[in-house]
Amino acid sequence: MGVIERYKRYLPVTGKTPIITLEEGDTPLIKADPIAEKIGPGYDVWLKCEGLNPTGSFKDRGMTMAVSKAVEEGANAVVCASTGNTSASAAAYAARSNIKCIVIIPEGAIALGKLAQALIHGAKVIAIRGNFDQALEIVREMSEKYPVTLVNSVNPYRIEGQKTGSFEICDKLGHAPFYHALPVGNAGNITAYWKGYKEYKEKGNICRLPVMLGFQAAGSAPIVEKRVIKDPETIATAIKIGNPASWEQAENARDESGGLIEKVTDEEIIEAYKFLAERVGVFVEPASATSVAGIMKKAQDGYFPDNSRERKRKDIVCILTGHGLKDPDRAIKCLEHPVVVNADIDDVIKEAGL
Ligand code: AN7
């Protein structure tokens, strides 16, 4: 069962909505004690592994909704701009519903796995000599002038689908987490999670809301720096975005929740990326490590007070937005390559250090 069926009473669907699903959602929420140790006493850290969605990222939650509604409304083509994951997801759900998919990507700035996904699902992939923000401007105009439905997160159905991530976290923990950390790129996801938490509280399913902690990459941090970044830079290509579409909604989530949106450097992202893989056993793409890099940095700054004397432990949930296999080049680049020896047991044992 996908997220629409599971949470339909909270979603804008009717009996007539065709449900286009790949059984997304219901992703693992796993405890990560090696990270909690770095935060301080009295905290539990949970990782929401969104890389385990059908196309390997959180985008599937929103895409099942956006494509289902597009099909309901009679669309026969969808379009998106993408740093990679949106295009992979749009291409898969379009294939599932047998409609056309057009994706516009910044040339040379998409992780290999994501490009492979868009292509293999049969999307028309067009690379522009430009960045994501320019691609988004183009698709917005395309969808106004031509009969194609825009499935970027400016499409409200994307936000509706993605808010189901909050519901799952609350259902699993039995309450909202105290802190909710996530990467911020185009800012759709922080908008969606905050909307989800607020609606769950209104329905009486939870009694308090989390503090939202958003993190941007230092070279692509328009919200933190309060200005559009013309040439965003970061190794976390998924969040290489200089003019987020949901800028204001992200600020609202931050301010209403008493949270923050701050930046982490590429070095800090890589450190968290390796820590997650080596110490926690979870391989994510660099953008996803931003949430963990962010809370580790805030812990060093003394943001999380000693909670050991409180009656209740505090939960921190980090959203790990995409799978590590999306961007194998990055893993290979930042690690030592395998040593090559002769096909001889003595040579192998010597090299293995046994
Ligand atoms: C792994 O695919 O914008 O703040 O075009 O792929 O909701 O944009 C991807 C974004 C975080 C940021 N982590 O989420 C796209 C795209 C990963 C991502 C984000 C993205 P938003």
| 322 C-alpha to ligand 1 centroid (Å) | 9
* Centroid of ligand 1 to alpha carbon of 153 (angstroms): 10
338 or 197, which is more confident? 197
Q: With cut-offs at 50, 70 and 90, classify the pLDDT of residue 310.
A: very high
Question: Using a 6 Å cutoff on CB, does residue 187 contact ligand 1?
Answer: yes
Does residue 246 have its Cβ closer than 6 Å to ligand 1? Answer: no
Stretch 64-79: mean pLDDT: 98
Would you state the pLDDT for residue 53?
98
Ligand 1 pocket, 186 CB below 6 A?
yes
Q: Which of 85, 133, 193, 288 to mutate to test the pocket of ligand 1 (most atoms within 8 A of CB)?
A: 85
Least Cα distance to 214 among 163, 277, 158, 258 occurs for 258
Q: Residue 205: what pLDDT?
A: 98
Rounded percentage of the chain residues whose pLDDT exceeds 70 = 100
Average pLDDT over residues 313-337: 94
Share of the chain above pLDDT 90, in %: 99
Query: How many Cα neighbours within 13 Å face the side chain of 158?
Result: 24
pTM for the full model? 0.97
Q: How confident is the model at residue 166 (pLDDT cuts 50, 70, 90)?
A: very high
- What are the pLDDT digits (tens) for 106-162? 999 999 999 999 999 999 999 999 999 999 999 999 999 999 999 999 999 999 999
Cβ–Cβ under 8 Å, residues 115 and 238 = no
Identify the pLDDT of residue 74.
Answer: 97
Q: What digits encode the pLDDT tens for the residues 209-228?
A: 999 999 999 999 999 999 99
Å from CA of 239 to ligand 1 middle? 6
335 pLDDT higher than 90: no
Contact assessment for residue 153 and residue 245, using Cβ atoms and an 8 Å cutoff: yes
Q: How deeply is 177 buried, as exposed, middle or buried, from its count of CB atoms within 10 A (0-12, 13-18, 19+)?
A: buried
| Model pLDDT, residue 337 | 85
The closest of 280, 277, 279, 292 to 324, measured between CA atoms, is: 277
Mean pLDDT for 34-59 is 98
**pLDDT above 90: residue 184:** yes
Q: What is the 3-state secondary structure (H, E, C) of the chain?
A: CCHHHHCHHHCCCCCCCCCCCCCCCCCCEEECHHHHHHHCCCEEEEEEEHHHCCCCECHHHHHHHHHHHHHHCCCCEEEEECCCHHHHHHHHHHHHHCCEEEEEEECCCCCHHHHHHHHHCCCEEEEECCCHHHHHHHHHHHHHHCCCEECCCCCHHHHHHHCHHHHHHHHHHCCCCCEEEEECCCCHHHHHHHHHHHHHHHCCCCCCCCEEEEEEEHHHCHHHHCCCCCCCCCCCHHHCCCCCCCHHHHHHHHHHHCCEEEEECHHHHHHHHHHHHHHHCCCECHHHHHHHHHHHHHHHCCCCCCCCCCCCCEEEEEEECEEHHHCHHHHHHCCCCCCCCCCCHHHHHHHHCC
Atom of ligand 1 nearest to the CA of 89: 2
pLDDT for 295 equals 98
